[in-house]
Amino acid sequence: MPSFVSKLPATPVSIFSRMSQLAHTHQAVNLSQGFPDFAVEPELIKLVTTYMQEGFNQYAPMPGVLALRERIAYKYQALTQIDVHPETEITITAGGTQGLFTAIGTLIHPGDEVIIFEPAYDSYQPSVEAFGGKIVPVRLFAPDFEIDWEAVREKITSRTKLIIINNPNNPTGRILTKADVTALEELVDAHGLYVISDEVYEHLTYDEQKHQSILYSPILRERGYVVASFGKVLHATGWKIGYVIACARLTEEFRKIHQFNVFSVNTPMQWAIADYLSDADYYTNLAAGFQAKRDYLSTALQQTRFKVLPCEGTYFMLLDYSEVSVQAELDFAIHLTAKAKVAMIPISSFYSKEVNQSLLRICFAKEKVTLDRAVDCLLHI
Ligand code: PMP
Ligand code: GLN
């Protein structure tokens, strides 16, 4: 047998797969992996079916169906007054994960350093390492997970190439302020860095708070990739379709890798989504529904011994269980799934070094009846 050197020797099976599997084994309410349990709109399903029946079943253009890219450009113009060029600045991807991987692959050479903020979404580190880069984590902690930009500056070296941000943030549920984006802009400008802004939850900000896309900043617009996902917008995480926005120069480089990574994304769904999202109001109405779920669940959880941390965006909330158990997060998450029949995600799995804050992430993109079942289980623990 020839020897085989793993590129990712320390990377385990994702915590999302692990906890979903455990939930299945124990027939627990699965509030771990982030996905809605309500149906995709029948009208959208009908549109996909119609496009398939009408023969839209061959390769889409490599950067994506133009009608869909035009819809995305229209959305940015209508909601944010930002101009994005559909032909040169938008590429349709097979979900946010592929967008992130390809953007990272476009920027990272062996030895490059990448600053990430922990708790960090699980795909950043392995994607950076697969291309020979090295992550430099900035650790943020509960309860507010605020970024100390001076501490970030101290982590910058001559090898630093990229900063990855996720706003709104999974798993913390926090959002960046305008001052945060300004601080980021200053660092990027002063040190000649690039940015990947994971904005897959851009439409899920609550209590009238505005999402601060990096696209508002002329400096970051020239130095960054924005990653988005239709999985979150259409309640269809299994469709694996999203997009990446960047200036023409960065998009051209992105597509060099994209065309050999997936080439193009499935055709009938692109046409269907382009038709379905003709009205920009669709996006503005999304947050209200999720905010109602957030409020419903946090009120219901007040009857339990779990404490809810503030959630400004995404469809995740953090629960502090320090009054319930002294177990470490992963152990407690496993215990809860087996005994209380509710599965959640330990926050420690979003850090590269052991940390224990007695926090679990709970997904509230669920029907009321599912949330009720979960609260009922947690009442008896
Ligand atoms: N980034 C974040 C922060 C996410 O939570 C997710 C998945 N929910 C993704 C990227 C990946 O998106 P997709 O499912 O479209 O690949
Ligand atoms: N983004 C989803 C979450 O945070 C999971 C995606 C996945 O399973 N890879 O739960």
In sequence order, the 6+-apart residues with CB closer than 8 A to the CB of 204 are 168, 232, 286, 287, 290, 313, 314, 315
Q: What is the mean pLDDT of residues 316-336?
A: 97
Q: Is the CB of 122 under 6 A from ligand 1?
A: no
Share of the chain above pLDDT 90, in %: 97
| CA of residue 325 to ligand 1 center, whole Å | 30
Q: What is the mean pLDDT of residues 265-291?
A: 95
Give the Cα separation of 273 and 66 in Å (integer). 12
Relative to the CA of 231, which ligand 1 atom is closest? 15
Q: Is the CB of 349 under 6 A from ligand 1?
A: no
Q: Is the CB of 313 under 6 A from ligand 1?
A: no
Confidence of residue 175 (pLDDT cuts 50, 70, 90): very high
Q: Is the CB of 112 under 6 A from ligand 1?
A: no
pLDDT at 354 over 90: no
Instruction: Please give the model's pTM, rounded to 2 decimal places.
Output: 0.97
| CA of residue 255 to ligand 1 center, whole Å | 20
What pLDDT score does 380 carry?
A: 86
Tokens 């990739």 correspond to: 225
| CA of residue 7 to ligand 2 center, whole Å | 22
Confidence of residue 2 (pLDDT cuts 50, 70, 90): confident
**Residue-wise pLDDT tens digits, 74-96:** 999 999 999 999 999 999 999 99
Substitution site in 124, 237, 240 for ligand 2 pocket (most atoms within 8 Å of beta carbon): 237
What pLDDT score does 83 carry?
A: 97
Q: Is the CB of 231 under 6 A from ligand 1?
A: yes
pLDDT at 133 over 90: yes
pLDDT at 265 over 90: yes
CB atoms within 10 A of CB 278: 9
| CA of residue 122 to ligand 2 center, whole Å | 8
Sheet with 359-363, strands from edge to edge, namely 307-308, 316-320, 359-363, 345-346
Q: Return the closest-CA partner of residue 98 out of 130, 55, 58.
A: 130
pLDDT at 306 over 90: yes
Confidence of residue 3 (pLDDT cuts 50, 70, 90): confident
Domains and CATH numbers, the chain: 15-40+284-378 (3.90.1150.10), 58-279 (3.40.640.10)
Q: Return the closest-CA partner of residue 204 out of 118, 284, 132.
A: 284
Query: For the stretch 264-277, what's the b/e string if a residue is b when 16 or more beta carbons lie within 10 angstroms of its beta carbon?
Result: bbbbbbbbbbbbbb
Minimum mean pLDDT range among 98-102, 234-238, 277-281, 325-329: 277-281
Confidence of residue 282 (pLDDT cuts 50, 70, 90): very high
Give the Cα separation of 360 and 319 in Å (integer). 5
Share of the chain above pLDDT 70, in %: 100
Secondary structure, 3-state, 47-58? HHHHHHHCCCCC
Which strand (E) or helix (H) includes residue 245? strand 242-245
3-state secondary structure (DSSP) of residue 116: strand
pLDDT at 244 over 90: yes
Mean pLDDT estimate for the chain:
97
Q: What is the mean pLDDT of residues 158-175?
A: 98
| CA of residue 132 to ligand 1 center, whole Å | 22
293 and 371 in contact (C-beta within 8 Å)? yes
pLDDT at 65 over 90: yes
Give the Cα separation of 134 and 110 in Å (integer). 8
What pLDDT score does 381 carry?
A: 85
| CA of residue 142 to ligand 2 center, whole Å | 21
Q: Is the CB of 14 under 6 A from ligand 2?
A: yes
Q: Pick 10 or 92 by higher pLDDT.
A: 92
Confidence of residue 360 (pLDDT cuts 50, 70, 90): very high
Q: What is the mean pLDDT of residues 337-353?
A: 97
3-state secondary structure (DSSP) of residue 140: coil
Relative to the CA of 166, which ligand 1 atom is closest? 3
Q: What is the mean pLDDT of residues 259-271?
A: 97
Query: For the stretch 170-188, what's the b/e string if a residue is b when 16 or more beta carbons lie within 10 angstroms of its beta carbon?
Result: bbbbbbbeeebbebbbebb
What pLDDT score does 375 carry?
A: 98
What pLDDT score does 39 carry?
A: 94
Q: What is the mean pLDDT of residues 21-42?
A: 97
